[in-house]
Structure 1
Amino acid sequence: MKGKSKRKFTSEFKLKVVLEVLKEKDTLAVISKRHELHPNQISDWKRQFLQGAASVFEAGCKPTSTNAEPETALLYEQIGRLQMEPDFFQKKVDAMSLSQRRSLLDAALSTSIRQQCQWVGLPRSTYYYQPVVATSDDLLLMRLLDEQYLLTPQYGYRKMQVALAKAGYCVNHKRVRRLMQILGIEAIYPKINTSKPAIGHRIYPYLLRGLVIVRVHQVWATDITYVPMATGYMYLMAIIDLYSRYVLSWSVSNTMEADWCCGVLRKALGSYPQPEIFNTDQGSQFTSDDFTSVLLDQNIRISMDGKGRALDNIFVERLWRSVKYEDIYLKAYQDGWQLEAGLQAYFEFYNCRRFHQSLNYRTPEEVLKGIKSSQTK
């Protein structure tokens, strides 16, 4: 029986795909479907491109001679064989996610995929797996689940199934659970914390319990949320000052990478006085050394929510509720460019012209800058 032929990609093709991702116009689902690629493969190419992009501008960097290509290729193959020795890098491989292990494999090498999978401890089925692109029905259900979660975050997948049924959508509870996992949402309730931090990622204590926040730039907080699109979805990250509710920095992306989060953080730190405490959840992007090192280098204390305790970051959750019901769900953005332009206008309104009852009907900008509202007596 003839086996399935392996696809080989040129550097030019990889660059073309990565540039499409970096434009942030289309969702990852659209790009992966367009080129018939695994979304994780595209994310890996983007990560590799960003990590190696700086080398283009290094001093003394010259194009490789064409005559040296065979010799260089042989050298890289020999180095690759040495690096593939399990005893040499087994501990590092164990700390990697499945997508990171998958990115180590290269079908163009003379070594078989079977052998490479054994070296990195990756099932061959995971390497060859091609995910099914989310259907229009799934995208509709994900939006409905996201809306319901903002209203009833205490609902688990069974109550979510009932809510969908009452809205006229008869869906199996297993499908509801799967879609909630894709959205990254789960019912909020007290439970035993049996989770363990990823290898090499430190989990910091929650510092806001019992803390009285009395001034601006005392505590900042951040989070990432799912944004439904016409085809697929995007991610939105925002950093807010908890005292004033002011959105200090925000960004949208079609992939959720630590480098992206670091960029949003550096933008906020470069525009405003640094906070005393910075609060996040325990997402891998926020527990990564790349992200925490930015805060530690500035002597900023790091606080992290308890696992499964979304109420620990309630102010950011309220921001998501506002931005989704007041803008995203009403506008139904078609692509990433429309989304970014729309959110730019909304956050300007939210910061400068939207009155907050909890702020004595002042705007976040007035509180941040210490401006007294004409309505405040």
Structure 2
Amino acid sequence: MAENRYRFKVTRLCRLFGVSTSGFYAWQSRPESGHSQHDRMLKCAIKELHQGFRRSYGAARLHQELRGNGFSCSRRRGNRLMRDMGIKASTTGLYAWRPGLHEFYSSTGNLLKHASQPNRNGVQWAGDFTYIRTRKGWLYHAIVMDLFSRKVVGWSFALNRGKALTISALNMALSRETPAGGCIFHSDQGIEYAAHDYRNRVEEAGLKRSMSRKGNPLDNAIVESHFHTLKAELVHQRSFESPVEATAHIIEYTEFYNRDRCHSSLNYQSPEEYEKLCA
């Protein structure tokens, strides 16, 4: 009785969709195609890679990782499979890009704007800081970035903003790296970078100071982009109980960023991989 009822439902559905019942049963018993098998294998790989990279990668970066791991897959196919699985970059939808809303402005002392693209490490550095909310108060985070490889070469944390925050990040960078003589150091015009003690430390290290025009964050766009990525891939994905907890996670993320996270501007290499390739 149950089997007859099942056949009756199949017959009605086949008639509804305009297919023959024999064709339906032939399709049902047909082995899985090679294309479908490859799709299933790719989905497993995409899921594993996406989780391994903190669910931060979108189609372009996942496509590069798939090819790097020996999988044959076009970017269009990867995009389709990600869409089927509901997988997307953690940055998607967080920020709206409005072209033309901001412009780069020239300003006295902005050496970076008129400099050519760096061709090696240690010739152009940039610094900035941001703030992160925790349940026990704000945490301020400053970095120094090498603009050639996008590597974060120095960082610091503090419960209050001020020159000590930015000097500490610069000191760490100088202890880890050896900049070239006359290396440009670019920042905004905040008091944390304009303070006499900070300026003296920059000059003592043999760096040339360069500053954005006030109120124009795109003059320091690469560092701003790093903070955008940090917040989209880490800070906006969780809440921190305390500044100590936030510090630990940001340091871990920064090490991942330098070592593993690929950049489209670096031909989909991580900063450390790019440095090795260009050495």
- TM-score higher than 0.5 here? yes
Question: Kindly tell me: are residues 351 and 192 of structure 1, through their superposed partners in 2, closer, same or farther at Cα, counting changes over 3 Å?
Answer: closer
The answer to whether structure 1 residue 333 and structure 2 residue 237 are counterparts is: no
In structure 2, C-alpha distance between the alignment counterparts of 1:296 and 1:214, rounded to whole Å: 23
In structure 1, C-alpha distance between the alignment counterparts of 2:172 and 2:108, rounded to whole Å: 23
Question: Kindly tell me: are residues 191 and 342 of structure 1, through their superposed partners in 2, closer, same or farther at Cα, counting changes over 3 Å?
Answer: closer
Quote the offset at 1:371 in angstroms: 6.1
Question: Kindly tell me: are residues 371 and 254 of structure 1, through their superposed partners in 2, closer, same or farther at Cα, counting changes over 3 Å?
Answer: same
2:95 is matched with: 151
Structure 2: which amino acid aligns with 1:207? Answer: L
Question: Kindly tell me: are residues 360 and 292 of structure 1, through their superposed partners in 2, closer, same or farther at Cα, counting changes over 3 Å?
Answer: same
In structure 2, C-alpha distance between the alignment counterparts of 1:266 and 1:232, rounded to whole Å: 26
Rg comparison, structure with higher value: 2
The answer to whether structure 1 residue 208 and structure 2 residue 112 are counterparts is: yes
2:88 is matched with: none
- Paired residues for 1:22-101 under 5 Å: none
2:177 is matched with: 272
Quote the offset at 1:234 in angstroms: 1.6
TM-score if structure 2 supplies the norm length? 0.60
1:342 is matched with: 249
Structure 1: which amino acid aligns with 2:193? Answer: F
Quote the offset at 1:274 in angstroms: 1.9
Question: Kindly tell me: are residues 232 and 154 of structure 1, through their superposed partners in 2, closer, same or farther at Cα, counting changes over 3 Å?
Answer: farther
Structure 2: which amino acid aligns with 1:353? Answer: D
In structure 2, C-alpha distance between the alignment counterparts of 1:368 and 1:190, rounded to whole Å: 31
Runs of at least 5 residues in structure 1 that lack an aligned partner in the other structure: 1-146, 156-187, 194-202, 373-377
Runs of at least 5 residues in structure 2 that lack an aligned partner in the other structure: 1-90
In structure 2, C-alpha distance between the alignment counterparts of 1:315 and 1:238, rounded to whole Å: 12
Quote the offset at 1:323 in angstroms: 0.4
1:290 is matched with: 197
The share of aligned pairs that are identical, in percent, is 30
Deviations 1:100-140 (A, max 9, x none): xxxxxxxxxxxxxxxxxxxxxxxxxxxxxxxxxxxxxxxxx
Deviations 1:61-115 (A, max 9, x none): xxxxxxxxxxxxxxxxxxxxxxxxxxxxxxxxxxxxxxxxxxxxxxxxxxxxxxx
Question: Kindly tell me: are residues 342 and 243 of structure 1, through their superposed partners in 2, closer, same or farther at Cα, counting changes over 3 Å?
Answer: same
Question: Kindly tell me: are residues 239 and 153 of structure 1, through their superposed partners in 2, closer, same or farther at Cα, counting changes over 3 Å?
Answer: farther
1:307 is matched with: 214
Structure 1: which amino acid aligns with 2:255? Answer: E
Quote the offset at 1:368 in angstroms: 2.8
1:127 is matched with: none
In structure 1, C-alpha distance between the alignment counterparts of 2:267 and 2:105, rounded to whole Å: 38
Kindly tell me the number of residue pairs found equivalent between the two proteins.
Answer: 186
In structure 1, C-alpha distance between the alignment counterparts of 2:251 and 2:213, rounded to whole Å: 31
TM-score if structure 1 supplies the norm length? 0.45
Deviations 1:166-204 (A, max 9, x none): xxxxxxxxxxxxxxxxxxxxxx646999xxxxxxxxx96
CA RMSD of aligned residues (A): 2.9
Question: Kindly tell me: are residues 304 and 192 of structure 1, through their superposed partners in 2, closer, same or farther at Cα, counting changes over 3 Å?
Answer: closer
In structure 1, C-alpha distance between the alignment counterparts of 2:278 and 2:203, rounded to whole Å: 32
